[in-house]
Amino acid sequence: MKHHRIARLAAAAVAAAIALTASGCSLESSGDGDTVKVVIGYQSKTINTVTAGTLLKAKGFLEQRLNDLSAHGGPKYSVEWQDYDTGAPITAQMVAEKIDIGSMGDYPLLINGSRTQANERSQTELVSITGYNPKGALNMVVVAPDSKAQTINDLAGQKVSASVGSAGHGTLVQALTRAHIDPKTGVEVLNQQPQIGSSALESGQVAALSQFVAWPGLLVFQNKAKLLYDGAELNVPTFHGVVARRDYAKQHPEVLDAFLRAQLDATDFIHKQPLEAAELVAQGSGLPQEVVYLYNGPGGTSFDTTLKPKLLDAFKADVPYLKSIGDFADLDIDKFVDDTALRKAFQENGANYDAALGNNANPAPVTGTDPLTNRPADNPALAGEIWFTDSDTTQPAADPTSLLRAIKQARAQGKTVRAAYVPDAELGTRWFADKAIWVRDGDTYLPFTTPAAAQRYLTQHPSGAVVSYDQAITEVRQ
């Protein structure tokens, strides 16, 4: 395996993406000279960008904001939405000045800032966050259901599918490095789009797939994969954000303002109506609603637009990644990030930016009262949800053991569970209850996302034992 294989793959990926061309007319005119056009690049299946993409589009919040401007004497506005699978083609179109505002993950944002700065008209700025996970759980590594791999170390010498330059690839590089495996020579990385990589995993062409949301959850939900590595093990924040071309924002500051205010509208909506939001995102992305709700529901992704210092510190620490995958220009994060427009949008929406900036808790935790125990389901490290078939609401559970009891009771009553969600007992990652690794320790049941996490617990608590999900439900005491 050649040492610079990944660098060549990354360069080829970016070069191919830049070669893309977009159809349509001028960025700022629809042809009659009276309509201002804004082109939005988004990723419908990257569901941590939904407040700047799929959900925002479905609710029409941006169009409503722009129509309000027109109604008050402004010009007419035209919004064009362009859907992509990864951030690379969005960056390519921004370099070509064909996309004005785009959203993508943290590693693609690094590439975006680096690639666009060569031309003054294409230069971009990071203007807001869509969603983040404080530990890095938005990216994961999955293997085939019958794989014998138990830890990331078991991938040494194997083929791994990843989209080079993506957040999923960045997590793979960090995970391998921590496991003392050279990410350039210790595995063979196949640079593939998520769909291609999923097919490669299913056909046995690769040993693992490292991707960003919602791909890991989707494949596990479909029983096409099992989770090997939870990105939360890195304990490094990962996020998705919004970039805007500075030149466009300078010419049409009212459009960027409308976009950010609309993003705040979408963020508020996903907090208040998570199931309805999940249904809209499912319709717009083609993803199962149960998978969307895993990430977009309470206790999942922190949907928070503010540019928090802890996220930017992690972002700065990721800059060396650029050099590891190719010849990228240095990126000054402090100059790339600008929260001026977002602060203005907060003020116009009657919200306090600094208060939101200083709040590091998930703004949408699981809430409610556990009907089985009559206890509040308010501990983020324990609280879960049960979504019963034919129900338009979810039932909160104060802790994983209570969740199992509720499901046992429901089964006895002839009810079926559409999906159930629990936080990993070690890392806190929200996961499917029926896909978790369960450990029984006395009368307490603990869910883990990966075999490695469960084993770490068992090493410290030899009284515990691994049990299957159905076994746990059968034997849990009422």
User: How far is residue 134 from each of residues 238, 359, 402, measured CA to CA in Å?
Assistant: 7, 12, 26
Cα–Cα dist 146/251, whole Å: 55
What radius of gyration do the chain's Cα atoms show? 22
Report the mean per-residue pLDDT for the chain: 93
33: confidence class by pLDDT, cuts 50, 70, 90: low
- Residues 39-53: tens digit of each pLDDT: 999 999 999 999 999
Instruction: Provide the 3-class DSSP secondary structure of residue 104.
Output: strand
Cα–Cα dist 6/10, whole Å: 6
**pLDDT > 70? residue 20:** no
> Is-contact 269 145, C-beta < 8 A?
no
CA 340 to chain centre: 25
Cα–Cα dist 461/469, whole Å: 20
> Is-contact 62 39, C-beta < 8 A?
no
Structure tokens at 54: 């799929």
**pLDDT > 60? residue 340:** yes
Looking at residue 472, the DSSP 8-state letter turns out to be H
- Residues 266-304: tens digit of each pLDDT: 999 999 999 999 999 999 999 999 999 999 999 999 999
- Residues 172-216: tens digit of each pLDDT: 999 999 999 999 999 999 999 999 999 999 999 999 999 999 999
Higher model confidence: residue 26 or residue 162? 162
> Is-contact 26 37, C-beta < 8 A?
yes
Average pLDDT (359-366) is 97
Query: What per-residue confidence (pLDDT) applies to 136?
Result: 96
**pLDDT > 70? residue 375:** yes
- Residues 405-426: tens digit of each pLDDT: 999 999 999 999 999 999 999 9
